[in-house]
Amino acid sequence: MKKQTIYSLFVVLMCSLLSGCVTQKQMTYLIDLDPSKADSVNASFSRQVEPVIKAGDALSVTVSAIDAEAVAPYNQPTAVYAGVGESQLATTPTLQYYTVDGNGEIELPLLGKFKVEGLKRSEAADAVRERLETHVLNPTVNVMLINPSVTVMGEVNRPGRYVMPNGRVTILEALGLAGDLTIYGKRDNVLVSRETNGKMEFARIDLGSADLFTSPYYYLEQNDVIYVSPNKVRAISSTNASLWLSVVSTVASAATVIVTVVNATKPANSNSGTGNGN
């Protein structure tokens, strides 16, 4: 076996071990986006995206009318907080809210229980207003989600829980809030988990594909969890680093031994000829 062959085999093996290197293509978002197909993408945005209420959500329900005294009994009393030594005038009102129970219901003062799970905020407000109109003239009902949020985990720069501005956020915006993916994040296999009607749903999102815009998971819902899994480079450079270094060291040592043995067993060049007989 020639010395050059041993070195060639060693180089091939090293390239295989390091084949997880991240390429520019793997790090690029929406790489297959075709501007000429923008109309089909815009069509999916024509609908109004509004959060759907889920069990466990915190809702603020405010009732108002021209006659403020008439609607006062239908609103939660305003809670106040005063620090030690502070007078009542220094108290600060805090926002009161209703928590959607396991049956998907909230209970309002005097009006009783409402099934709100699965409804949009506007639909829940309409349901309350319809019942209230039998008691109050021309009432106005406003339903708001209190601090709806999503969780971003894995290979991002700032993993954590993030509030959804105005109750609406896209997956790209959520990843932006988390400081974007690290160079170790797999952009073609982002996991989104979502609870719908008590059941878990899972979806794999390719951030490099323009199909992202038409995905039902492009607009996130409150309590969604986004997980960015690590690529091969992270697997090599983290907990398995010592293992890979050991493998590389072993291969290098083995190659050195083989080269040494081959050189030692190679027949020496003889300068002596058969000689001329006298």
Same domain, 97 and 217: no
Average pLDDT over residues 70-80: 79
Residue 132 lies in a domain: yes
The Cα–Cα gap between 205 and 189 comes to 5
pTM score, whole prediction: 0.65
Q: Is residue 98 part of a domain?
A: yes
pLDDT above 60: residue 233 = yes
Looking at the structure, do residues 153 and 112 belong to the same domain, yes or no? no
- 137 and 68 in a common domain: yes
Same domain, 229 and 166: yes
pLDDT for position 92: 47
Q: Of 128, 145, 162, which residue is a domain's last?
A: 145
**117 within some domain:** yes
> Is the domain of 44 the same as that of 65?
no
Last residue of a domain, one of 214, 234, 254: 234
| Residue 122 sits in the same domain as residue 62 | yes
In angstroms and rounded to an integer, the radius of gyration of the C-alpha atoms of the chain is 33
**Does residue 172 share a domain with residue 42?**
yes
pLDDT band at 24 (very low <50, low <70, confident <90, very high): very low
Residue 214 lies in a domain: yes
CA-angle at 224, arms to 218 and 228, nearest 5°: 75
* pLDDT tens figures, 60-70: 999 999 988 99
User: Same domain, yes or no, for 134 and 73?
Assistant: yes
Residues 206 and 68 in one domain: no
Q: Which residue would you say has higher pLDDT here, 108 or 248?
A: 108
- Number of separate domains in the chain: 2
The pLDDT of residue 57 is 92
Quick: pLDDT tens for 155-183. Answer: 999 999 999 987 889 999 999 999 999 99
Q: What mean pLDDT, rounded, does the chain reach? A: 77
Residue 137 inside a domain? The answer is yes
Contact (CB, 8 A) for 224 and 194: yes
Do 33 and 97 fall into the same domain? no
The model's confidence at residue 196, banded by pLDDT at 50, 70 and 90, is: confident
Domain range holding 207?
A: 25-49+148-234
- Burial environment of residue 53 by CB neighbours within 10 A (0 to 12, 13 to 18, 19 or more): buried
Query: And the tokens for 213?
Result: 């815009």
Q: Is residue 221 part of a domain?
A: yes
249 part of a folded domain? no
Are residue 127 and residue 166 in the same domain, yes or no? no
Which CATH number fits the domain that encloses residue 32? 3.10.560.10
Domain assignment present for 11: no
